[in-house]
Structure 1
């Protein structure tokens, strides 16, 4: 959409994105999803905000990945890998929830609310999925059940994200 709206000829756009015109053509037709580096160059060339484009790119990357197998062994669950402070835990929790939402097929807010039998409300789900602040544990467990997430994975991550920094 950005490339078409920019009205930059395909040859010029490909040169600026540092890819071949044929590859760019496959990207624009939806046959290929480019690397982030190419996507970022395309966004900048078309005068779009790369941060906004990044979210769409990540969603498409996740959508195209095959689903992961379920975890049978609790030792395989290491949600705190690479997390050394509360801020990192908050970011990882938010990213994990957004990833789970995408892998669940991106159900709409209404679908999530209906599936929860209206125990969850649209503003509440929006806050959970879009804000980098954890919700209470029972609410999170309810959402995880709807999206197919593992409480065993999210429990230590949420605990690390809700710990108060030392005074």
Structure 2
């Protein structure tokens, strides 16, 4: 049996990214490659919002908006005397409340608020904030939201946000010509990618498909891959059959042995392991990873299954602009993969777009569908 390998851990300073050597002792694990690097990052964070801070703000606004919509729909169901439908939504509300609590706690910590003050607002002992709602626990809660199975309820679409929420300035960096329309008519082209009855592959299955495709195009035998990765041939067989999820060390060596790009496989591995990403990843790389797992179908073929143009799909793979979440979701579905694991990367891409305007004193913008 191959020994467990957690893979490399990288410095949390976005401008650094150096690997961190973590010992197997019982001490607190290091988050930065050096004390000086950690101090520099904290000083920069205090002076201006970091991409992480902007992503946390966008996440909190998104959860609050989702919660407001669900509660408004529950109110209507209650008035219409539909208790079973309202109870179904109650599960979603309870999860959203916990996510919103985590998001607000993270916002408060981004603003350098003390744990004692946060605990006082929640009516909890300060020790509980430190122990059960630590920074790591809150971060895991935020990152796990897209990976959790949520109650699938079709809520009525709203033209605007609920009146209790302040309107947000929208300035989307859209890919030109992103939607196909017949003879310039309205966007009514049906999308087979959005068929609700169509089964989507989960993160683990997507990773398995990607590794299997790499092995197929490389022409290498499982024995050769075992020699390249330093594991047994039977272990390679279990990985390619989906029985085992390899460590990142093995997955990376496997990808390199097949002449693949580890940057495309890393987001798939993170989603399969339900891990908090330990290094900066991009949305285009994750989309290329899904493309790899689907055996890289041509863009025009994908366009036939969606309302996206081939030009828009190619642009999403290369990151020429930040697409709307609706377009990301549609492309993921066309590649037979779940879209929600991409949500944190999309939030980070939106935050990166908003960062220059925010630091210059302009309105914070977000890319929306």
TM-score band, normalised by shorter chain: 0.3 to 0.5
More helix per residue: 1 or 2? Answer: 1
Structure index of larger Rg: 2
